Structure 1
Amino acid sequence: MSKDHETVRQRKYTEIVEMRDTVFGGVENRGGNMLEKTVENVLGPSINSFIIWVLQESRKNGIQRLYFLARDGYLMYQCARIYCEKQQLPIECRYLSCSRYSVRIPLFHLDMEEALEYVCRGGIDVTLDKILDRAGLTCQEKAMVLELLPAPKKNRGIIPYSELSQVREVLKNCQYFMDCMYQHSVEAYPLLEEYLKQEGLLETKKSALVDSGWVGSMQKTLNTILGRLGRKEKLTGYYWGLYELPRGVKREDYFCYYFSPEKGLKEKVYFSNCLFESIFSAPHGMTIGYEKLRGRIFPRYGEIDEQRQEFMIWLSEYIREYTKKAVRAVTDLYQIDTVRYKKIVKELLRLFMGYPTASEAELFGSLEFSDDVLDNSRQQVAVKMTEQEIRGNHVWNKALTMLGIRKGYIKESAWLEGSIARLGKRENYHWFMYRMYKYLLYIRKKYYYLKMREKE
């Protein structure tokens, strides 16, 4: 797309924000390049609108303390602290260093069936190595498991989604694998317990979690651990969006902003949770465990690429400065119409995520992303693809392959809309064909979610 097209797009963002009479319309734009302008016109208003909603809902529900979960909650935490300080709100904000990996592994030994289900779930380019990593196995243990598995299952290539259940059964019957997973879980549990106690999660303050969301499993996992430790009141949670909920939880304990398991079909279709995670992250690696030093428990972070870290430090500072300007225009935070603000965010993200320009796709699509519990296999969120590879993600081919009716490998992109824009050929056609798949996907997901809730 031409530079003129990019200018038109940025002007459109500005019009959406400034013509809707919000506190963001008065923020003086200082952005010179496209990245700065996008923060001011799209990312800043989006995350600030979410935080205003979180703080309003927290007040309604009598929440005294909010725990922002690493890493998606890092920028949210920075913004919330500014609002609480400037508006003198009676809400304490804390940053909780945890990940699916650091919290799930300690719990595996409590329910090995559920643990097996978790490590063998789907994802982008799932391999046997990824599955064994999810279980917390060392390199030596992984090698031994591969020796013990039947010959047909030793293939270390990408596992089709339709074959994951077979892999699960094979691993279930491998006693060595099950023993290793159990032992690592037992060893990790005490340090997680101590960390949660240290961070005040056993105190009687009414508390809630804040996170991006998607499934809400972290809330259930933390409540399981805290219940065993003696916490009486369950944590509730405030999320950007949830596609579904774990089994056995109370629906009223989960609050959704942008979309929920029951509502927001169009919002889901024009949204990219992978792009969201690539942008709204932290300047540190994933929490891979905990260690005790000088009588205190500290999180152990995985490695982070230096360039990625520099970007997150810059983004954090820029959004903090944006938030400080926005909060000056707030006279009474509790009087802001969050429903109206959310409509503005929907307009912005529909364009940014659903119809990205070539320049946006090139800049933000090159950000790294990993959809697995470990960051070992990172790739660009909008990986470059050929037109044939993109056609493989069209509605009928992808649906039939996912159902196991059609055989073959589909190269996937974490943000396919961005990959289409980077290709620059027949964008509207490819976006439409992929969007039809997303409509079917989320309709189906809602159907099975509601069916599951009926049985509970």
Structure 2
Amino acid sequence: MHNPTPTMTRYERIMLNHSGRSDDAAAQFCDASRAARTKVVAESDADAVIRDVAAGVAAPALTGCAIWMLFEARRRGLARLRFLSRDGQVLYELARRLAPILGIELDLQYVYSSRLTWSLAATEPSNLDNAAWLFNSFMKSNATDLCSRLGLSIDEYESLLAASGVSLDPETRADQIHQAAAMRRFLRTRKVTEAMASRISHTRQLLVDYAEQHALTDPATGLVDAGWTGRMIGSLIQVCRSTGSSSRPHVLLWGHEPRPSGWTDPAKVVAYVYNTATGQGLDWRVPDAPFLVESFCMGDHGIVSGYERERSGAKVLPILQSSTNVAAEAWGLRAYRSTLYAFVEALNGAQTDDLRPMIHGVMDAFWCHPTFDEATVWGAYPYDSDPAGTAIRPLARAIAEPRIARGDRAWLAGSLQLSTAAARHAYLATDPNSDLSGAPATD
């Protein structure tokens, strides 16, 4: 076992630099970080790195957000918060621990959602070829991804894919113009549209009933998620609107990056750190913030692949791809979550100071300037941006020579830290500034 040391970390020094007095929120967060590191005993060197980043970066970032969400819900007069899986799970766990400390009474509930299910429910079978969610993500879809998102067996549709000109090569993706055109031909075929019409209709009705069951679109409800474009929540509202419902919930996010083709609602959608639609908090946005925050919000179960009715028909229940998140557990999820909870347990009283400048400071230090050990351990985190869970990759990997490209590395600074000096310099000399600034990806 690796016993924690009380020595102040670089993140705790940053917290103290943002403190103006010994009892303010920044000072209390610094104390909570040290207390969490003391309480959680690491079983390995890797667990020690996970724990220290959890205490110094993730816990302040997520706890600050959860505190803000609870106060914001009260300010808006909400009766309940619904935390959307899977990114909302850790925020739910923190919020339910924090609410008694803050003296806030709300109906808090963790509910099951996914881009895969909600986007499918909102898609018209006759318009599959224009459904951006089928093609887009950090990694664009290949043939296998496309079938997975539709819930179709690639073996059953292999001949139709080939006849449509879709390559089965996993490296041939929708960002290649000929592959994208072929995928759209495939989606317009009668066999696909007929198969999807039944699946979409079934999914849509189950989602409507699940939303009613948990009051997801009630005006006194706040939906909680990490972010980003708002499309998934927009899909829910679109589906429920098709039943004649005009009510809309409030939406509380970490960050909001709506696209021209996406969804937002200035009266209902609010973000903690930044909102590109309003220009709020952009100076506090670290590069590629979604990749970092989604990694901090790792869930302990698999993706929601659909819904089903229980035998009595009284309730709609989620269908999970897996009951556990095996890859995250193998990486160190237990040590990570234990540290977050120990951090919250060490807090005393309400925290009303604006913590966002401090949170940006610790996040920037970790995400943009990682140590080699941090890049090694956190870079091994199994990050997956695909709606169907088909694209798990390490968060960071060394950039290989002579092919100097970012590729599918979500954590650029971590990847550069793991790379040779020659590869690092070559990348920085040739790649676009947008990669370094972390500008929001476009459609």
**If the TM-score is normalised by the length of the shorter chain, which range does it land in?**
0.7 to 0.9
What SS does the corresponding residue of 1:438 show, helix, strand or coil? helix
Q: Which residue of 2 aligns with 1:365?
A: 379
- 8 Å CA contact 1:201–1:226 kept in 2: the answer is no
In 1, distance between residues paired with 2:340 and 2:298?
Answer: 12
What SS does the corresponding residue of 1:418 show, helix, strand or coil? helix
Q: Quick one: which amino acid aligns to residue 338 of structure 2? A: E
In 2, distance between residues paired with 1:387 and 1:70?
Answer: 39
Q: How does 1:32-47 map to 2 (within 5 A)?
A: 33-47=48-62
Closer/same/farther in 2, CA of residues 175 and 351 from structure 1, 3 Å limit: same
In 1, distance between residues paired with 2:284 and 2:380?
Answer: 24
Deviation at 1:48, TM superposition (A): 0.7
Deviation at 1:415, TM superposition (A): 1.3
1:382-405: CA deviation from partner (whole Å, max 9, x where unpaired): 13431434x334xxxxxxxxxxxx
Q: Which residue of 1 aligns with 2:90?
A: 75
Deviation at 1:189, TM superposition (A): 2.3
What SS does the corresponding residue of 1:371 show, helix, strand or coil? coil
- 8 Å CA contact 1:236–1:253 kept in 2: the answer is yes
Closer/same/farther in 2, CA of residues 367 and 217 from structure 1, 3 Å limit: same
What SS does the corresponding residue of 1:94 show, helix, strand or coil? strand
- Residues 1:273 and 2:290 are matched in the alignment: yes
Q: How does 1:168-187 map to 2 (within 5 A)?
A: 168-187=183-202
Q: Quick one: which amino acid aligns to residue 308 of structure 2? A: E
In 2, distance between residues paired with 1:114 and 1:156?
Answer: 20
Q: Quick one: which amino acid aligns to residue 15 of structure 2? A: V
In 1, distance between residues paired with 2:118 and 2:112?
Answer: 10
Q: Quick one: which amino acid aligns to residue 26 of structure 1? A: D
Deviation at 1:439, TM superposition (A): 6.2
Unaligned stretches of 5+ in structure 2?
A: 42-47
In 1, distance between residues paired with 2:156 and 2:88?
Answer: 34
Closer/same/farther in 2, CA of residues 160 and 201 from structure 1, 3 Å limit: closer
Q: Quick one: which amino acid aligns to residue 25 of structure 1? A: C
- Residues 1:300 and 2:305 are matched in the alignment: no
Q: How does 1:244-255 map to 2 (within 5 A)?
A: 244-245=258-259, 247=262, 249-255=264-270
1:309-333: CA deviation from partner (whole Å, max 9, x where unpaired): 363344333312211212xx22x45
- Residues 1:414 and 2:414 are matched in the alignment: no
Q: Quick one: which amino acid aligns to residue 73 of structure 1? A: G
Q: Quick one: which amino acid aligns to residue 252 of structure 1? A: A
Q: Which residue of 1 aligns with 2:365?
A: 351
Q: Quick one: which amino acid aligns to residue 141 of structure 2? A: V
In 2, distance between residues paired with 1:227 and 1:160?
Answer: 31
Q: 1:325 aligns with which of 346, 369, 389?
A: 346
- 8 Å CA contact 2:86–2:299 kept in 1: the answer is yes
What SS does the corresponding residue of 1:388 show, helix, strand or coil? coil
What SS does the corresponding residue of 1:108 show, helix, strand or coil? coil
C-alpha root-mean-square deviation of aligned residues, in Å?
3.0
Deviation at 1:86, TM superposition (A): 2.7
Q: How does 1:187-266 map to 2 (within 5 A)?
A: 187-201=202-216, 206-245=220-259, 247=262, 249-262=264-277, 263=279, 264-266=281-283
* TM-score normalised over the length of structure 2: 0.83
Deviation at 1:293, TM superposition (A): 2.4
Q: Quick one: which amino acid aligns to residue 296 of structure 2? A: I
In 2, distance between residues paired with 1:110 and 1:179?
Answer: 8
In 1, distance between residues paired with 2:152 and 2:124?
Answer: 14
User: More displaced, 67-76 or 19-28?
Assistant: 19-28
Q: Quick one: which amino acid aligns to residue 171 of structure 2? A: G
Q: Which residue of 2 aligns with 1:392?
A: 405
Q: 1:309 aligns with which of 302, 314, 329?
A: 329
Closer/same/farther in 2, CA of residues 433 and 280 from structure 1, 3 Å limit: farther
1:426-454: CA deviation from partner (whole Å, max 9, x where unpaired): 65774686571236773895xx9xxxxxx
In 2, distance between residues paired with 1:63 and 1:167?
Answer: 47
1:107-160: CA deviation from partner (whole Å, max 9, x where unpaired): 22377257633212353253122122222212344324224313x756553226
Q: Quick one: which amino acid aligns to residue 187 of structure 1? A: H
Deviation at 1:74, TM superposition (A): 0.7
User: More displaced, 349-358 or 219-228?
Assistant: 219-228
In 2, distance between residues paired with 1:200 and 1:43?
Answer: 30
User: More displaced, 248-257 or 281-290?
Assistant: 248-257
Closer/same/farther in 2, CA of residues 432 and 284 from structure 1, 3 Å limit: farther
Q: Name the one with the larger helix percent.
A: 1
Deviation at 1:276, TM superposition (A): 2.5
1:169-205: CA deviation from partner (whole Å, max 9, x where unpaired): 4234423223223232123223222222222336x56
In 1, distance between residues paired with 2:146 and 2:9?
Answer: 46
Deviation at 1:237, TM superposition (A): 0.9
Closer/same/farther in 2, CA of residues 248 and 316 from structure 1, 3 Å limit: closer
What SS does the corresponding residue of 1:50 show, helix, strand or coil? helix
- 8 Å CA contact 1:128–1:157 kept in 2: the answer is no
1:264-286: CA deviation from partner (whole Å, max 9, x where unpaired): 55544534422322231211111
- 8 Å CA contact 1:99–1:288 kept in 2: the answer is yes
Deviation at 1:358, TM superposition (A): 0.9
Q: Quick one: which amino acid aligns to residue 312 of structure 1? A: L
Closer/same/farther in 2, CA of residues 169 and 114 from structure 1, 3 Å limit: closer
- 8 Å CA contact 2:88–2:297 kept in 1: the answer is yes
In 1, distance between residues paired with 2:425 and 2:108?
Answer: 43
- 8 Å CA contact 1:116–1:168 kept in 2: the answer is no
Equivalenced residues, count: 412
- 8 Å CA contact 2:307–2:317 kept in 1: the answer is yes
Q: Quick one: which amino acid aligns to residue 302 of structure 2? A: G
